[in-house]
Amino acid sequence: MGNKELLEKDFKNLLSELNSYKEMLALAQWDMRTKIPKKGVEQRSEVVGFLAEKAHQLETSEKMKYFIDMLKEDTENEIIKKAVLECEENYIRNSKIPLDEYKNYVMLQSKSEAVWQEAREKANFALFQPYLERLVEYNQRFATYWGYEDHIYDALLHNFEPGITTETLDRVFPDLRQAISSLLTKINESSLKPDSSILQSHFPKTDQEEFSKEILNRMGYDFSSGRLDETIHPFAISLNLNDVRITTRYDESDFRTAIFGTIHEGGHALYEQNISEKLASTPLATGTSMGIHESQSLFWENFIGRSKAFWSSHYELFKKFAPTSFQQVPLNEFYQAINEVKASFIRIEADELTYPLHIMIRYELEKLLINGDIKVSDLPNLWNEKMQDYLGIKPPTDREGVLQDIHWAGGDFGYFPSYALGYMYAAQFNHILSREVNVKEAISTGNLGSIKHWLTQNIHQYGKMKKPLQLIEDVTQEKLNPVYLINYLTQKYTDIYRL
C-alpha cells in the first residue's frame, strides 16, 4: 500500500471516529425528545455536551488540518476529495468558535428543549424566555465569528442552505406571498366550501399508527433500518444510513396531524436511507441542505399524500383502519375536506396554500431578532400581530403561537426559510419528475416505488456530493424558480374551489 493509500485510510479512520461521536450524540438527542424521564434531562445534557465537545475537538484538531492540507490537492478519489472539502469548511467555521463556548451552547440547547416542552405544556412563554435570550446571544456571536458580507442573518442561513442569502429570500418571498394572497381572496369569495367537520371523528391512536406504518411501507421506508415513535414535535433523525428514525404526533380527534406528519417525516427518512453506501461514515452521508431535505418531505406530504390520485388508490385501505363514521363519506368530499383552505394556528397542521405564510412570519421575526431590532420579550405580541396580518387569526395562547415550534429551542436560527425553499424546490422537482414518470398512474396503481426510484437516482444517492444549488440546476436545468409552486397551487385550488 502506497503513502497516498495509507494517508487516505488514516483519514477515513479519523472520519469514522468523528462519526461515532456524532452518532452517539444523535442517539442521545433522539432519546431526549422521545423517551427520557424528566429528571434525567440535566445529566443527559452533560453527556450531550461531552460528546459535542469531543466531536468539535476532532473537527478542529491539528490532525484534521494535516489531512486537509495533504489530501485537498492530492487525491484522485472523488469521494475523498469532496469529504476533505466538507471537512475543511467545518474546520474553518468551527475553529472560529472557542471550544468552551461551543460546549456550553450545546448543553444549553439540550436544556432549552426540555424547558420549551414544559413552557409549551403550560402555555407560559416566560419560562422559556431566559433560555431563548441566551440562544439568540450565542447565535449572534457565532454569526460574527463566522463573518458575513451584507446581512448577519446570512451567516446562519449558510448552516442550513449554503448559497441562499437574505437578498434571495427577500426577492422570492414577496412574489409567493402575493400569489397566495390572490388565491386566498378568490377562495374566500367561492361558494364552494369543503366540510372538514366530516374528518373530525374519534380515531384511536393505535389505528392511526397502523395506517401510518402501512403508508410508510408503501412509500418504501425500510423498517429494518428505522422505527416510528411518538413525540410532541415530529422529526426524523439519521444515526447512520441503516438507522433512520421517524417520530409523529397523534391527535385522536383529527387524524390529519399524524398521517400527514408521518408522510412528511417519511420523506426525510427516505432521503437518508437511500444515500449511496459509498458515502457511509463520511460527512457526505447526509442531505445536502435542509432546503433539499424539506423538498423531499413536502413532496411526499403534499404532491403525493394530499393528491386526488393518492386517495383514490388508498381510500379503501384508509377505511379499513378508520372509525365507522368515515365508511359512508364519499371520496370526493373527503378529498376536498383534507385540502380545505383554512387559516391555522399550528404550522404543521396548515393547509398547502397557507403553509408558506407561516414560514414567512418566522423568517421575519428571526431576522429582527438576529439583527437586534427586537428583544426576545417582544416575540409573543409580534407573533400574534403577524399572524393577524398574514392569516387573519390571533392565537389564543402562546402554546398555539410563539411556543409551537421546537426549532428556536434547539438554537436553529436560519432553519425556517428552508421549509419554504423546500416547497419551491419540490415543485421544480415535481415538474421534471412528471415529464419522466407518469406520476398519476404510478400513484393510482400503487407503484410508489417508481417515484422513489427517480428521487433516489436524481437526488438521494448523492448525499452531500452536490451542493444544493448545483443539485437543483442538474435536475431541473434552471435556478430556484418560485413560478412552479405558484402554478401548482393555482391549478390545484382552482380545481378544488372551481375558481
Q: Do 43 and 146 reside in the same domain of the chain? A: no
Q: Do 91 and 239 reside in the same domain of the chain? A: no
Quick check: is 108 in a domain? no
User: Percentage of residues in the chain with pLDDT exceeding 90?
Assistant: 94
Q: Do 346 and 446 reside in the same domain of the chain? A: yes
Decide if pLDDT at 120 tops 90. Answer: yes
Quick check: is 214 in a domain? yes
Least confident range from 73-82, 215-224, 331-340, 419-428: namely: 73-82
pLDDT (tens digit per residue) in 238-281: 999 999 999 999 999 999 999 999 999 999 999 999 999 999 99
Query: Of the residues 95, 114, 132, which one is the last residue of a structural domain?
Result: 95
Decide if pLDDT at 75 tops 90. Answer: no
Handedness of CA 29, 109, 140, 232 (dihedral sign): positive
Handedness of CA 123, 44, 95, 22 (dihedral sign): negative
Decide if pLDDT at 1 tops 70. Answer: no
Q: Where are the beta strands (DSSP E) in 202-336?
A: 228-230, 236-240, 243-248
Residue of 276, 220, 228 lying closest to 249 (CA atoms):
228
Number of helices (H) and strands (E) in the chain: give both, helices first. 20, 3
Q: Do 171 and 85 reside in the same domain of the chain? A: no
Quick check: is 112 in a domain? no
In contact, 267 and 299? CB cutoff 8 Å: yes
pLDDT (tens digit per residue) in 134-188: 999 999 999 999 999 999 999 999 999 999 999 999 999 999 999 999 999 999 9
Quick check: is 232 in a domain? yes
Residue 498 burial by CB count (10 A; 0-12/13-18/19+): exposed, middle or buried?
Answer: exposed
Please give the residue range of the domain that contains residue 419.
124-499
Residue of 226, 291, 188 lying closest to 499 (CA atoms):
188
> What type of residue is 15?
L
Work out the mean pLDDT of the chain and round it to a whole number: 95
- Find the length of the chain: 499
Quick check: is 102 in a domain? no
Query: 418 by DSSP, 3-state: which?
Result: helix
Q: Do 143 and 48 reside in the same domain of the chain? A: no
pLDDT (tens digit per residue) in 285-294: 999 999 999 9
Query: Of the residues 41, 74, 95, which one is the last residue of a structural domain?
Result: 95
Q: Do 179 and 296 reside in the same domain of the chain? A: yes
In contact, 403 and 345? CB cutoff 8 Å: no
CATH number at residue 217: 1.10.1370.30
Sequence-distant (6+) residues with CB within 8 A of 292 are 271, 422, 425, 459, 468, 471, 472
- To the nearest 10°, the Cα dihedral for 340, 345, 348, 350? 20
Sequence-distant (6+) residues with CB within 8 A of 140 are 152, 370, 372
Which of 8, 59, 265, 400 does the annotation list as catalytic? Answer: 265
pLDDT at 76: 84
| pLDDT bracket for residue 231 (50, 70, 90) | very high
CA atoms of 315 and 340, how far apart (whole Å): 18
Quick check: is 86 in a domain? yes
Q: Do 38 and 179 reside in the same domain of the chain? A: no
Quick check: is 105 in a domain? no
Domain count, the chain: 2
Quick check: is 148 in a domain? yes
Q: Do 30 and 138 reside in the same domain of the chain? A: no
Q: Do 345 and 474 reside in the same domain of the chain? A: yes
Residue of 326, 288, 275 lying closest to 460 (CA atoms):
275
CA atoms of 478 and 108, how far apart (whole Å): 41
pLDDT (tens digit per residue) in 4-15: 889 999 999 999
pLDDT (tens digit per residue) in 16-28: 999 999 999 999 9
Provide mean pLDDT across the span 346-359.
94
Q: How distant is the alpha carbon of residue 39 from its chain centre?
A: 29
pLDDT at 2: 64
User: Percentage of residues in the chain with pLDDT exceeding 70?
Assistant: 100
Cell 418504501 belongs to which residue?
Answer: 220
Q: Do 253 and 339 reside in the same domain of the chain? A: yes
pLDDT (tens digit per residue) in 397-442: 999 999 999 999 999 999 999 999 999 999 999 999 999 999 999 9
The helix-helix angle for 3-34 and 78-95 (nearest 10°) equals: 60
Q: Do 41 and 143 reside in the same domain of the chain? A: no
How many CB atoms sit inside 10 A of residue 387's CB?
22
C-alpha cell at 239: 444515526
Active site residue 265: yes
Q: Do 60 and 142 reside in the same domain of the chain? A: no
Q: How distant is the alpha carbon of residue 277 from its chain centre?
A: 23
pLDDT at 214: 97
Label the pairing between strands 236-240 and 243-248: antiparallel
